[in-house]
Amino acid sequence: MAPAQKSKGPAGKGAAKGKKPASAGKKVDDDREDALQAVVLADSFETRFSPFTLEKPRCLLPLANTPLIEYTLEFLAMSGVGDVYIYCGAHTAQVESYIQASKWHPLTSPASPFHTLEIVKTTARSVGDALRDLDARDLITGDFLLVHGDLVSNLPIDTALAAHRARRIADKNAIMTMILRSGGLGSHRTKSHGITPIFVVDPTKNRCLHYEEMHPLQADKFVNIDPDLVSTHSEIELRTDLIDCGIDICTPDVLALWAESFDYEVPRRHFLHGVLKDYELNGKTIHTEIVEDHYAARVFNLQSYEAISKDVLGRWTYPLVPDSNLLAGQSYKFERGGLCKENGVVLARTCKAGKRTVLGQDTSIGDGSVVANSIIGRRCQIGKNVNIQNAYIWDDVVISDGSTVDRAIIASNAAVGKNCKIHPGALLSFGVRIANEKEVKAGARITRTKRKLESEEGVAQAVSSEPEIVGEGGEGYEFHDEDEEDDEISTLQSNLIYSTAHLNISSESISTFSSETSGPSIKERSRTTSFTGSITSDDDPNSTNETFHHDAVAGLYDALKDGGDIDAAKLEFMGLRLSNNASDHQIRRAIATAFAKHIAQLVENEKLDAPKAAAQAFGLNGAKKFLEEVAIGMERREEDQVDFLVCLQKDLAHRWSGATVLAAVCQRLYQIEVLEEEAYLRWWADAEALGEREGKIMKKVREKTKVFIDWFEEAEEESSSEEESD
């Protein structure tokens, strides 16, 4: 990571500011038609496919019996890509061995359309980290395609690429072209549910002006558009009908921008939003290519998994359909009624394998069973009188006699007992066994993954099965995701069936007559805000005041990194606070993030010991005063101190060697008398009291601080015993 850090400065600045020396040489590059490069983000660093992704990476999950990455690579091959770089997060080894055995790897398969295919190993925790890492590696020489490893598309990119290149030659600042598929005006199954992306586009120039996401849980029920955009662009379109397939044609400048903003994590909500917002500063423009034909979509959650499976069965994705036999050894044939069958399928005489169904090799279906609108993998055994509708069943699954499966996903090697009922939305992960006569309730997520327990050794242990879920003799337990519980939004995305029924969504206000019109108002002001209701007075810390956080952290972090003037940073910080009307909590969170980040970077890049790094950071001129005045406040209230500690803990929980840093930071803050003993003890007690609810990661990060807390407690005991002895 050390070279990454170093190259960031010059590379980033060079691209953003004086591009003159670079552009002369680059001109030649642009005109030359060299092989296109592509970057595949095989892991999106999300948990939307839990529990399946606990054991297998998302890009290897089968969609219509073909792993997702096959579709993506097929798309890249069609687009004429020469070099492919695949970024993996979890389960890199599985992806690597899969790719090496596939037809794609140029070293093992002479028929591969690619020049190079490289799996980049990284410790990245987010898309942003991966791209910053890519920037440091200098692999990218020209325009490249950035896609996700879950893309299904039969779209020819020629026109988009040509348009991008034309724009690029006309204006060096046109750094990126996003390909978006228009999804029609009505509702569409492949559109995103829950979180709706909003693209604000100038249709005359195909330029994206603003990006935002909307979901039903937002406190702020408005999309705020910069009035300058309205005055400078006489026509603007606000589009929520677009299906974002995540195909971006980028120039290397995009990587430089990622590198400059270390807080960007995801490509849309952070990067796109941020770059567009900072247009005044960086002058970069991002364009859109909105296509009306062809198919392009991403399998980004289970709802889209279902929708895209249906699209594949409906042959919208042709030629990416089962009977094209994308994988070596597949032998699907398309039969009447949309049935796709491989060789060696055994169908009993009285079973009905109905419409739009895919059956893999050696699968057998027993007498009297009905299968419709479903996908069944290889070597599955479907018993007698089984009813399967709209289900996605992977390989080697056994479904015993008399069971019913409706709109569920059953992963490989799972087994369902006799006369079971699997209700809509249920997810059975790898190897789960459901005992006979059991009903699996709607929306249940059952796994039998070994889970790391919180013991010191971190040895994986199987969690005991929960008989109330899987029945006597079954195997598996209900999966709970700690991260998810903090965050109701992600639950909208992680279920197979989208529903907001369980959520308490506040009713929206409607216009009152008093707003901006000349007429007298009707006496009904109780319906809260007017059309242009207040938008800034919202001091709910969970609301999306991410701009403040981002800007504040960036400013402070830079000051710390340069070892510079904390007082100046403080002024800027207070200015930001006033202009954003940030709450005290937000301020503490921002400060904690900036310091934690800086110290973690020192530890990671300069190989400093954690205590030394902490001493260096907090020893900066003015740092102590800043913390005392701004982060904690002059009253030195205990709650504020505890809050600051929690912020530190939360931030460090996700950083490399977070636990060590937290211990060192705690010690140092006590030494320089920023935080007091009582605050530490209360923080620790609060955390302990949370118990299971605290979450694995949060617990782990504070483990190493225990020694320090123990020391307090001992000291206290000593002092109290001393008092007693007096």
Partner 1 sequence: MPHALSMPSPGFQAIILCGPGSSFPTFTANPDENPKALIPIANRPMVWYPIDFCYRMGVTNITLIAPPSSAPAIQAAMNTNPHLTGLPLPKPDVLSPEGLDQNTGTAQIFRLPEVKAIVKGDFIVLPCDLVCEFGGESLLETWMIKEAGLGGVGGDHQLGAKLAPAGGKRIQRGGLGVWYETKGENIVKGEETDFIATSPLNTGSVPPSRTSLLSHMSKLVYSVPTDTLNDITEDKKSLPIRHSLIRTHSRIRMLSSHRDAHIYVFPAWVLDMIDRNEHFDSIGEDVVGWWAKAGWQEGLGDKLGLREVFANADSTAGDDNLLENGPTDDIDFTALSSTWTSNLQRTQTSDKLEIPPILAYIHPSKPTQKNPTVPLIRRVDTAPLLLSVSLQLAKLESIENLGRETPSPFAHQSKIAYPEGIASKTTVTRPDCLLAENVTVEEKCSIKESVIGANCQIKSGAKLTRCVLMDGVVVGKGCKLTGCILGKRSVIGEDSVLVDCEVQENLMVEPKTEDKNNNLMSSEGMEATEEEMQDSFAGEEAIMDAGEGAA
CB of 442 or CB of 672, closer to partner 1: 442
- For partner 1, which residue of 535, 568, 571, 707 counts as binding (CB under 8 A)? 535
User: Of 10, 25, 186, 458, which lies in the binding site for partner 1, with binding defined by CB under 8 A?
Assistant: 186
Asked if 332 and 325 count as a contact pair (C-beta separation under 8 A), the reply is yes
Choose the stretch contacting partner 1; rule: CB under 8 A; options: 308-316, 408-416, 440-448, 620-628: 308-316
* Three-class DSSP category at 298: strand
Does position 540 interact with partner 1 (CB under 8 A)? The reply is: no
* Least distance in angstroms from the C-beta of 532 to partner 1: 5
Among residues 240, 331, 343, 671, the one that binds partner 1 under rule CB under 8 A: 240
Q: Which of 214, 217, 442, 697 binds partner 1 (CB under 8 A)?
A: 214
Q: Which of residues 369-388 bind partner 1 (CB under 8 A)?
A: none
Q: Is the four-CA dihedral 262, 266, 270, 271 of positive or negative sign? A: positive
What's the CA gap between 243 and 181, in Å, rounded? 5
Question: Is 29 or 508 the residue whose CB approaches partner 1 more closely?
Answer: 508
- Shortest distance in whole angstroms from residue 32 CB to partner 1: 36
Q: How many residues does the chain have?
A: 726
Taking CA 153 as the corner, what is the angle to CA 152 and CA 159, rounded to the nearest 5 degrees?
155
Q: Are 435 and 474 in contact (CB under 8 A)?
A: yes
Nearest approach, Cβ of 560 to partner 1 (angstroms)? 30
The distance of closest approach from Cβ of residue 533 to partner 1 in the complex, given in angstroms and rounded to an integer, is 8
Smallest separation, CB 531 to partner 1 (Å)? 7
Pick between residue 216 and residue 368 the one whose CB is nearest to partner 1: 216
Nearer to partner 1, 173 or 196 (CB): 196
Tokens, residue 245: 């397939």
439 binds partner 1 (CB under 8 A): no
Q: Which of 524, 629, 678, 688 binds partner 1 (CB under 8 A)?
A: 524
User: Would you say 157 and 266 are in contact if contact means Cβ atoms under 8 Å apart?
Assistant: no
* Rounded CA separation 227/229 (Å): 5
Shortest separation between residue 238's beta carbon and partner 1, angstroms: 4
Asked if 526 is part of the footprint of partner 1 (rule: CB under 8 A), the reply reads no
Residue 521 interacts with partner 1 (CB under 8 A)? yes
Of 130-138, 151-159, 517-525, 656-664, the window that binds partner 1 (rule: CB under 8 A) is 517-525
Helices (H), 249-316: 252-260, 273-277, 279-282, 302-313
Is the CB of 222 or the CB of 711 nearer to partner 1?
222
Rule CB under 8 A: say whether 519 interacts with partner 1.
yes
Q: Which tokens go with 21?
A: 């020396």
Number of residues that bind partner 1 (CB under 8 A): 55
Site for partner 1 in 613-672 (CB under 8 A): none
Q: Which is nearer to partner 1, 48 or 448 (CB)?
A: 48
Identify the residue among 193, 284, 418, 598 touching partner 1 (CB under 8 A).
193
Burial 267-301 (b: 16+ CB within 10 A, else e): bbbbbbbbbbeebeebebbbbbbbbeeebbbbbbb
487, 508, 688, 716: which one binds partner 1 (CB under 8 A)? 508
Site pattern 219..238 for partner 1 (x: CB under 8 A): --xxxxxxx-xxx-xxxxxx
Stretch that binds partner 1, among 217-225, 431-439, 623-631, 667-675 (CB under 8 A): 217-225
> Hey, is 660 helix, strand or coil?
helix
CA 64/CA 378 separation, integer angstroms:
11
- Check residue 241 for interaction with partner 1 (CB under 8 A): yes
Q: Which of 601, 631, 632, 628 is nearest to 614 (CA)?
A: 601
> Residue 205 Cβ, how far from partner 1 at the closest point, in Å?
14
Quick check: 522 binds partner 1 (CB under 8 A)? yes
Closest approach of Cβ 665 to partner 1, in Å? Answer: 37
| DSSP 8-class letter at 495 | S
User: Terminal CA-to-CA distance of the chain, rounded, Å?
Assistant: 57
Q: What are phi and psi of 336, to 5 degrees?
A: -55, 145
CA dist 223 and 265 (Å) reads 22
Among 130, 152, 254, 307, which residue interacts with partner 1 (rule: CB under 8 A)?
307
Q: What angle do CA 708, 710, 715 make, to 5 degrees?
A: 100
- Residue 480, classified by CB atoms within 10 Å of its CB into exposed (0-12), middle (13-18) or buried (19+), is exposed
What is the smallest separation between the CB atom of 203 and partner 1, expressed in angstroms?
8
CB neighbour class for 248 (10 Å; exposed up to 12, middle 13-18, buried from 19): buried
- DSSP string covering 8-50, please? HHHHHHHHHS--HHHHHHHHHHHHS-PPEEEEEE---S--TTT
To the nearest whole angstrom, how small is the minimum distance from the Cβ of residue 488 to partner 1? 17
Cβ distance to partner 1 smaller for residue 230 or 460: 230
Amino acid at 206: N
β-pairing, 196-202 with 81-87?
A: unpaired
Select 123 or 224, whichever has its Cβ closest to partner 1.
224
Residue numbers at the binding site for partner 1 (CB under 8 A): 183, 185-189, 193, 196, 198, 203, 214, 218, 221-227, 229-231, 233-241, 303, 306-307, 310-311, 314, 316, 498, 508, 510-511, 513, 516-522, 524, 531-533, 535
